[in-house]
Amino acid sequence: MNVSELVKQAGFAVFTKGEDRAIESGYCGDFLSNIISRAPDACVWLTVMNNVNVAAVASLIDCACIVLCEGVEPDTPLYERGKQLGLWILGANENVYETAKTVARVCGV
């Protein structure tokens, strides 16, 4: 399933948009060193971190999209960098666990 389809079916907020890539897996985490070493390619990355380093890490790991959980919004530098790098930054009101269940159900990953 592509990111745009996930957005539609899960009802996630869209802060910034990127290439409409296929989603192949998911990863949850906030410690950036764990994410860059362990998150699989083309994953949905669920986090509550919302600073600019999230963009650098998302770009390095080539994730399909970032989902900021628990109603978190990107801070201004993250929003600007996400736009510049062409990253999908999405938003969900539920906590990471509930959001992961939604991603799993909708995407079948």
Partner 1 sequence: MQCIKLEYDVDGENFASAGHASESVKRTLKQMGVSPASVRRVAIAMYEGEINMVIHAHGGKAEAEIYPDRIDIYLKDSGPGIADIDLAMKAGYSTATENIRSLGFGAGMGLPNMKQYSDEMKIDSTVGVGTTVFLRVNF
- Residue ranges binding partner 1 (CB under 8 A): 30-34, 36-37, 41, 49, 51-54, 56-57, 59-62, 77, 81
* Crossing angle of the two packed helices 96-107 and 3-10, in degrees rounded to 10: 120
When the beta carbons of 34 and 95 are compared against partner 1, the nearer one is 34
- Tell me whether residue 10 or residue 54 sits nearer to partner 1 (CB atom): 54
CB of 106 to partner 1, least distance (A): 26
The CB-of-28 to partner 1 minimum distance in angstroms stands at 13
**Under a CB-based contact definition with an 8 Å cutoff, are residues 78 and 58 in contact?**
no
Instruction: Tell me the C-alpha distance between 16 and 101, whole Å.
Output: 23
Cβ(83)–Cβ(16) under 8 Å?
yes
Give the list of residues 6+ apart from residue 37 with CB closer than 8 angstroms, or none: none
Beta carbon of residue 30, minimum distance to partner 1 (angstroms, whole number): 6
Cβ-based nearer residue to partner 1, 2 or 59: 59
Instruction: Give the Cα separation of 50 and 63 in Å (integer).
Output: 16
Closer Cβ to partner 1, 61 or 103, answer by number: 61
